[in-house]
Chains A and B, each alone.
Chain A
Amino acid sequence: MHRAPPVLAALLAVSSLVSSASAQQTDRLPADATPGEIVDHVDRLLRGESSRGELVMSVHTENWSRSMRMTVSSLGTDYALVRIIEPRKEAGTATLKANRDIWNYLPKVDRVIKVPPSMMGGSWMGSHITNDDLVKANHIEQDYTLRLIEESETHFVVECLPKPEAAVVWGKIVYRVLKDPRVPEQVDYYDEEMIRVREIHFSDIQQISDRIVPLRMTVLPLDKPDEQTILQYRELEYGLPLEENFFSLRNLKKR
């Protein structure tokens, strides 16, 4: 199984961590925080956290390039609803993530299709993000052992190694987190042979209301050097009154 930290959700998740950490001085982690504490902290802050934003996803592959404008609503790490606004041909196409499941709504045929387990490793909307990336959002510490391997004036580097019994695809994940403001800078994914196969870079760090978050995420599949997916937030707001029932199949079909 594909057990990557959520790419899309990761952006939201880690940014919330960071923003909270920097905004709420009192809740700031001690300087000698263990990696587990860092992750715990994220989790705690995320629970019940809701957000809504608009982003542009640009996908570049060897054979085609395209951009999609979409809205994203999320509640914690368990629920997310993404809806395409542009291009017009695909406007209304939507993805609902609820816990471990993903449904896609296809307006052209007016059908909701649940992504079967065998297709979870497949690409989401043609990007370099897999369905699994969206689903396996929460609790990376359940499957990985985290260790602070480096701490400098400016950065934390956290290494995540899979636990022996964990069913994961990555051999190792390395997070590089900026200390101040506390935002992720880069995440490296290694395969089972410890060869680096994917990098995610975070940039365009902005203050959104009382938070500091990276608004741009670049996914680089290293086996295809000419390809990449860029997610750029245009708008983002937090603390919306979204309930769990907003993330329903009925709502998925609404344009």
Chain B
Amino acid sequence: MLLTLAFRNLWRNRRRTLLTLSAMVVSAALLILALGVFSGMFRDMLASATEQYHGHLVLARDAYHERRDLFAHLPEEIVHQSLLADDPDIIGRSPRLRSFGLISRRESSQPVEVMGVIPRMEQQVTSLQNQIVAGRYLPADQDNAAVIGQGLARKLDVQPGDELVFVTQAADGSIGNDVLIVQGIFATGDSRHDNNLILAPLPWVQKVLVLPGRIHEVAMTLADPMRAAAVADRLNRHMPEDVTVLDWGTLLPEMREVIAAYDVSRMIIVTILYLATGLGILNTFFMSVMERTREFGILMAQGMRPWTIRSLVLLETLMLGGIALVIGIFCGAGMTFYMQQVGIDLAGYITPVTYAGGTILPRLHAVFETGNFLVPAGMLLLISLLAGFLPANRAARLDPVQAVREE
């Protein structure tokens, strides 16, 4: 009975209710869209940060994590262990042997990292194969091939097809040195990699370092990057004492700060937008309660309890919030879907920005995330209740005798 009454009351001043409703719908829908775009930007950044180098998880001996100890190596077979190979969360694994040394071409030489990889497996973790600007990615069958960062290529003045000499200290103390043939040049946009990184086949690096069958780390990709910390914890329970799996939050502490900043700014946007909406609702219901003073008086005189009056008004605001929510989510999801499928390309106006190791691409593009719907929805209902509380209280506290006399 109360429900029907509340519903009917809502539509007594149709125009006012519709206006308030539309304000609520628009704010909810825009919020959902904005959060979706925000998440999209964040995902782009995270993807670019992890796909350039580390992946989502990195397994290595502690001495390697801490100080890149050349001698802290692992057997290559570790990557095929069922613990890693059969884990449903892990969708890519790449065994790597990393070597720091001097790369030289004619007169110029540069300190670099040469990362030995198996091309087929490395492509599951990093996306350098999509960032080749000249030549091609590492072929599967050439033992001395190399892909090299764009900045490094420029400094050494090399083109695909050129020879490079790599010199480093091998694990047996000898001077490891050999020739690499440049196959391709990649550009990630992150100067740390573009100026320092060379990918070469794993067996080649193993030979130069005199570490046959050994690797330094296994980089992994997860189906859901946000679950990285949990998956790392689970894997670490089965690891030997001196081996640790680190997640991207640990490897890229700046990215964790980005998430924290993202969460804070999300809350700020939600608060500002809903504060305005809340005031609108408050206004509407105050008006509606004032107008109905006499009516409430009569109801009370007929024996309606104050709490019933309060519930009635609260029910009205809640109902309005609920309707706004349904339409708002529907509209918001629709816009998010559009932005996810189509997006807006800003490449003509701004250039990619690299921040905290991740690159923000010049595009607006949204992703679906449950939190981006739950937060606006929950907040909208909460704000409706809060905004309804004051008018409801006022209505409940009316003195029936005076209220009835009100004109």
Q: Give me the interface of A with B, judged by CB distance under 8 Å.
A: 59, 61-66, 87, 89-90, 93, 104, 106, 108-109, 111, 113-116, 118-119, 123, 125-126
Query: In chain B between 97 and 127, which residues have their CB closer than 8 angstroms to a CB of chain A?
Result: 102, 104, 107-111
Are B175 and A106 interface neighbours, CB within 8 A? yes
Q: Which of B130-138, B163-171, B276-284, B353-361 contacts A (4 or more CB under 8 A)?
A: B163-171
A216 CB, min distance to chain B CBs, angstroms: 20
Q: Inside 8 A of A59's CB, which chain B residues have their CB?
A: 173
Known: A62-B71, A87-B174, A126-B169. 5 other contacts (CB 8 A): A63-B173, A109-B179, A114-B104, A116-B108, A116-B110
Of chain B, the residue at the smallest CB distance from A126 is: B173
Interface status of B393 (Cβ within 8 A of chain A): no
Q: Inside 8 A of A119's CB, which chain B residues have their CB?
A: 102, 109, 111
Are A113 and B167 interface neighbours, CB within 8 A? yes
Partner of B102, one of A61, A90, A116: A116
Name the residue among A59, A61, A106, A118 with the largest chain B CB count within 10 angstroms. A106
Q: Inside 8 A of A64's CB, which chain B residues have their CB?
A: 171-173
Are A113 and B178 interface neighbours, CB within 8 A? no
A102 CB, min distance to chain B CBs, angstroms: 11
Of chain B, the residue at the smallest CB distance from A125 is: B175
- Complex Cα–Cα for A114 and B109 (A): 7
Interface status of B288 (Cβ within 8 A of chain A): no
Partner of B169, one of A90, A113, A123: A123
Of chain A, the residue at the smallest CB distance from B170 is: A126
Q: Inside 8 A of B167's CB, which chain A residues have their CB?
A: 104, 106, 113
Are A108 and B178 interface neighbours, CB within 8 A? yes
Interface status of B177 (Cβ within 8 A of chain A): yes
Q: Give me the interface of B with A, judged by CB distance under 8 Å.
A: 71, 102, 104, 107-111, 165, 167, 169, 171-175, 177-179
- Complex Cα–Cα for A84 and B175 (A): 12
Are B171 and A90 interface neighbours, CB within 8 A? no
Partner of A126, one of B102, B107, B111, B174: B174
Q: Inside 8 A of B108's CB, which chain A residues have their CB?
A: 116
Top 9 nearest A-B pairs (CB, nearest first) are A64-B173, A113-B104, A66-B173, A126-B173, A106-B177, A111-B165, A63-B71, A109-B165, A116-B109
- Complex Cα–Cα for A123 and B173 (A): 11
Of chain A, the residue at the smallest CB distance from B174 is: A90
Are A118 and B111 interface neighbours, CB within 8 A? yes
Given contacts A106-B165, A118-B111, A119-B111, contact A66 B102 (CB under 8 A): no
Q: Inside 8 A of B169's CB, which chain A residues have their CB?
A: 123, 126
Q: Inside 8 A of B71's CB, which chain A residues have their CB?
A: 62-63
Q: Inside 8 A of A62's CB, which chain B residues have their CB?
A: 71
Partner of A113, one of B165, B171, B172, B173: B165
Given contacts A109-B177, A126-B174, contact A114 B165 (CB under 8 A): no
20 pairs, CB–CB < 8 Å, chain A vs chain B: A63-B173, A64-B173, A65-B173, A66-B174, A90-B174, A90-B175, A93-B175, A106-B165, A108-B178, A109-B179, A113-B104, A113-B109, A113-B165, A114-B104, A116-B102, A116-B108, A116-B109, A119-B102, A123-B169, A126-B173
